């Protein structure tokens, strides 16, 4: 009997307890060498007064086992407590979210029977940094934070994953035609790292056409790497195209810890009815067994699960008159998988995972280019403006007597001064760009004191300054975007 690996298990909310119990029952029947420690997370814990949704004891278990198998957790929309899922991913450094989306046709109806792709989503950065501010009565802001190191790590991970699992191509999806800096660095790092993997093909698409292609021709994709929000949306699209969001599992992986779950949520609409499909979490658990280097258990369970699908034993979400023989509830589905442990599928290709000398992929952001010369040459001062027209605003701000010159005023990224092309621009939320010179080639380096002096003038003139963003040159190149129309 192999040594049992301690793992932490959280049942979660909604259908979580039902599908987690079913999954553990299958792991237990397959003699998977695991030693589960049960913790509580989610709604109950919030109600006990832990605003993070997780108790200190539960953290201690996670730090001990370094592996979490987790049922879905309910997160309120619009307001309320912060997502525990995001807290776990970020606190535990789980930078890679791996979501295989495979078709199981004809047993799970799909228009794309040959679909077999894996989405590798950056898990810690982008808009999921969750840094939001209400700046005026009607203006709300969400910051998108992207680091070069974060891009390097996730893109390396995608290529390493492709190598380990014998996949042939990595596709990068960004929106760098619009977000030239944040998405631009993701694409640039992809091009750099792709050169280190000549054995793996690489390509890039803009995210919108990329998503359309995933929906229309998913067979053409193999491994997809993308940033946090795009990956979140895309993986649900892909899971649905494959046949059901109820089937896919997801791994959240870091260099020290990993968390495994289903891609779907807590499905409050069917919670307590015991009809949920446990396959998503079971597939997450299979990824967990591969991660803890227990390939024999992963193989026997996945093959039994494939036989169950082939035998037409289906939960309601994937039931079809044509290919299903018996509609079962959550527990009956688990029992059907258990009955088939040791069997090999006939229609589907049987899986056979091998012991790996290096089961975990470890990636680090190398941050190659921290040698750039950084020079402060100006500042964007954001104000709430309720009274002045863009023309009046431009005239008034041009007269603020400091060494910094007003270059342009923008609103929601569009130039509204000087020479606005539109009659009545929105001018309540303005970004006023001041530089030491209009010509950046000749821009003199300024100090933070110059900015403080400028802000003093804003204050004396009665403006409501919302925030500032410093304007830097990096090796002489602007580290800021130009306004639309500038």
Binding site for ligand NAD (CB under 6 A): 15, 19, 72-75, 85, 245-246, 261, 264-270, 276-277, 280, 317
Contact 214, 234 (CB under 8 A): yes
- Distance (Å, whole) CA 81 – CA 379: 35
CB closer to ligand NAD out of 218 and 284: 284
State the minimum distance, in angstroms, from the CB of residue 245 to ligand NAD: 5
Q: Name the minimum Å distance from CB 357 to ligand NAD.
A: 31
- Vertex 288, ends 41 and 364: CA angle to 5°? 95
Minimum distance, C-beta of residue 149 to ligand NAD, in the bound complex (Å): 25
State the nearest-atom distance from the C-beta of 257 to ligand NAD, in Å. 16
Rounded Cα–Cα distance for residues 444 and 432 (Å): 19
Of 231 and 280, nearer to ligand NAD (C-beta) is 280
Q: Is the Cβ of residue 172 or residue 245 nearer to ligand NAD in the bound state?
A: 245
Are the C-beta atoms of 144 and 126 separated by less than 8 Å?
Answer: yes
Shortest gap between Cβ of 43 and ligand NAD (angstroms)?
9
Q: Please name which of 54, 37, 42, 55 lies closest in space to residue 14, comparing C-alpha atoms.
A: 42
Classify residue 127 by its DSSP letter.
Answer: G
Phi/psi of residue 171, nearest 5 degrees = -110, 130
Interior angle at CA 120, CA 255 and CA 156, nearest 5 = 55
The two tokens of residue 450 are 């110059």
Tell the smallest beta-carbon distance from residue 236 to ligand NAD (Å).
8
| Spatial contact of 222 and 171, defined as CB atoms under 8 Å apart | yes
Which of 85/287 has CB closer to ligand NAD?
85
Peptide bond into 418 cis (omega under 30): yes
* Helix segments in 3-104, DSSP class H: 16-29, 43-47, 56-65, 84-91
3-state SS class at 211: helix
Least distance CB 333 / ligand NAD (angstroms): 10
Q: Given the complex with ligand NAD, which of 59 and 426 has the nearer CB atom?
A: 59
Q: Which is nearer to ligand NAD, 75 or 436 (CB)?
A: 75
- CB closer to ligand NAD out of 326 and 399: 326
In angstroms, the CA 112 to CA 241 distance is: 7
Distances (CA, A) of 227 to 95, 102, 174, 407: 11, 21, 7, 33
Minimum CB–partner distance for residue 268 and ligand NAD (Å) = 6
Residue 266 or 287 having the CB closest to ligand NAD? 266
The CB-nearest residue to ligand NAD is: 265
Residues comprising the chain, all counted: 486
Tokens of 395: 């005239």
Q: What is the DSSP letter of 245?
A: T
Q: Residue 19 or 158: which CB sits closer to ligand NAD?
A: 19
Beta carbon of residue 16, minimum distance to ligand NAD (angstroms, whole number): 8
């Amino acid at each position: 009997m192999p040594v049992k690996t301690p793992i932490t298990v959280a049942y979660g909310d909604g259908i979580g307890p039902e599908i987690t119990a079913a999954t553990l029952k299958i792991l237990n029947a397959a003699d998977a060498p695991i030693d589960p420690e049960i913790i509580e997370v989610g709604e109950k814990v919030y109600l006990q007064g832990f605003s993070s949704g997780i108790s200190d004891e539960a953290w201690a278990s996670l730090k001990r086992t370094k592996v979490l198998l987790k049922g879905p957790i309910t997160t309120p929309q619009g307001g309320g407590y912060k997502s525990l899922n995001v807290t776990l991913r970020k606190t535990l450094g789980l930078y890679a979210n791996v979501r295989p989306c495979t078709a199981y046709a004809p047993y799970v109806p799909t228009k794309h029977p040959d679909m077999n792709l894996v989405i590798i989503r950056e898990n810690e950065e982008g808009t999921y940094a969750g840094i939001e501010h209400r700046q005026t009565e009607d203006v709300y802001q969400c910051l998108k934070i992207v680091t070069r190191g974060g891009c390097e790590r996730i893109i390396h991970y995608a290529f390493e994953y492709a190598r380990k699992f014998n996949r042939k191509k990595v596709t990068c999806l960004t929106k760098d035609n619009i977000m030239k800096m944040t998405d631009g660095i993701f694409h640039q790092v992809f091009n750099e790292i792709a050169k280190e993997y000549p054995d793996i093909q690489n390509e890039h698409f803009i995210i919108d056409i990329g998503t359309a292609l995933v929906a229309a021709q998913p067979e053409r994709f193999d491994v997809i790497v993308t940033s946090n929000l795009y990956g979140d949306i895309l993986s649900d699209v892909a899971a649905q195209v494959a046949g059901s969001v109820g089937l896919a599992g997801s791994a959240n992986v870091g260099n020290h810890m990993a968390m495994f779950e289903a891609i779907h949520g807590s499905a409050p609409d069917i919670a307590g009815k015991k009809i949920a499909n446990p396959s998503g979490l079971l597939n997450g658990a299979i990824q967990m067994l591969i991660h803890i280097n227990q390939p024999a258990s992963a193989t026997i369970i996945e093959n039994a699960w494939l036989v169950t699908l082939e035998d037409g034993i289906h939960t309601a979400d994937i039931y079809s008159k044509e290919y299903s023989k018996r509609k079962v509830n959550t527990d009956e589905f688990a029992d059907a998988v258990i009955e088939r442990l040791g069997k090999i599928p006939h229609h589907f290709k049987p899986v056979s995972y091998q012991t790996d000398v290096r089961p975990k992929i470890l990636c680090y952001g190398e941050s190659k280019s921290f040698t750039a010369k950084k020079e402060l040459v100006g500042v964007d001062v954001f104000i709430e403006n309720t009274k002045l027209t863009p023309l009046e605003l431009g005239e008034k701000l041009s007269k603020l007597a400091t060494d910094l010159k007003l270059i342009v005023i923008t609103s929601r990224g569009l130039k509204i001064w000087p020479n606005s092309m539109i009659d009545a621009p929105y001018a309540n939320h303005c970004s006023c760009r001041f530089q030491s010179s209009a010509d950046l080639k000749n821009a003199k380096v300024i100090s933070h004191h110059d900015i403080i002096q400028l802000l003093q003038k804003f204050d004396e003139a009665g403006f409501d300054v919302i925030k500032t963003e410093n304007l830097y040159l990096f090796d002489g190149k602007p580290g800021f975007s130009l306004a639309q129309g500038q």
